[in-house]
Amino acid sequence: MTAKIIDGKEFAARVRGQVATHVARLKADHGITPGLAVVLVGSDPASEVYVRSKGKMTVEVGMSSVEHRLDADTAEADLLALIADLNDDPEIHGILVQLPLPKHLNEDLVINAIDPAKDVDGFHISNVGLLGTGQKSMVPCTPLGCLMMLRDHHGSLSGMDAVIIGRSNIVGKPMAQLLLNDSCTVTIAHSRTKDLPDVVRRADIVVAAVGRPEMVPGDWIKPGATIIDVGINRLDAPEKGEGKTRLVGDVDFASCVEVAGAITPVPGGVGPMTIACLLANTVTACCRANGLAEPE
């Protein structure tokens, strides 16, 4: 059996199309243009790439994009002052502070300084609490994208066994919460989990968010299971030429695709959905701020 490949690139393009339609309606009917502010501190190359593509796609769907690039040695007080200004700015509906921040900045303090209503990454403690109690919140983009792909593939997820490998605040934990809210039986595995292969083998749904290249082999997978591979790992690829690299996920695609029922590829799976969900969250934040109906 060969798994169905879940095409995140195509799905994300569809989501961006829906976002663009909603943005056009907000402009035409209400004269409102949703605005997203992205704050980048320092010049981490991976973060630079993410910020650039977020800015490009924000503009492509018709929203306004504001980028604030601050020096790596920016004082915490200055960053907090910028966030306070963005919180007060009626043209800005979403604020994203690109992580990781340089070591001298307190990430929790900075994230919790964002107005929760504009916290389109869903990392503010208020949004974490709202999600944890099943209330309306801003949902973190990567797990939201994973959930959308799972719902699209399965319809109802009720009663399914889900194993998430990884317990980070930005992926593993919110993913668990979302799947629990969808009535899955959820297990969160991590570096101290005993018999990880056995734990993974019970899963109807495996979400791998570890950051270890190709760690999950096909013989850990229950036949027919759905695999969502969140990992983005860059490996040297001398076969492509000197200095070249390639991206791989946290699962060994070649062996998993033979066993699973469905699988997301890397690249082209979770990654594009993350940015699409960021745009969708910004429109949602804009609608809520203006007391308008939210997109579905």
Angle at 272 between CA 293 and CA 44, to 5 degrees: 110
Chain centroid to Cα 275, Å, comes to 7
Q: For this structure, is 98 an active site residue?
A: yes
Interacting residues toward ligand NDP by CB under 6 A = 142, 165-168, 170-172, 189-193, 196, 209-212, 230-233, 270-271, 274
Q: Closer CB to ligand NDP, residue 32 or residue 216?
A: 216
Question: Is 121 an active-site residue?
Answer: yes
**Minimum distance, C-beta of residue 210 to ligand NDP, in the bound complex (Å):** 4
For 158-192, b/e burial (b = at least 16 CB within 10 A) is eebbbbbbbbeebbbbbbbbbbebbebbbbbbeee
Instruction: From the candidates 4, 27, 56, 98, give the one annotated as an active-site residue.
Output: 98
Residue appearing with tokens 């107005």: 115
| Residues annotated in a binding site | 166-168, 232
Only one residue has tokens 């399965």, namely 154
Catalytic (active site) residue 18 = no
Q: Indicate the residue among 136 and 151 with the shorter CB distance to ligand NDP.
A: 151
Q: Of the residues 27, 29, 108, 121, which is catalytic?
A: 121
Residue numbers in the known binding site for NADP(+) are: 166-168, 232
* Residue closer to ligand NDP (CB basis): 123 or 184: 123
For ligand NDP, the nearest residue by Cβ is 168
- Minimal distance, residue 273 CB to ligand NDP, in Å: 8
Cβ–Cβ < 8 Å for 263, 222? no
Of the candidates 18, 29, 44, 54, the residue annotated as catalytic is: 54
82/209 with CB nearer ligand NDP: 209
237-to-240, 241, 242, 243, 250 alpha-carbon distances in Å:
6, 7, 8, 7, 17
Q: Let me know how many helices (H) and strands (E) the chain has, helices first.
A: 10, 11
Rounded least distance, CB 141 to ligand NDP, Å = 7
Tokens 């306070």 correspond to what residue? 84
**Residues tagged active-site:** 54, 98, 121
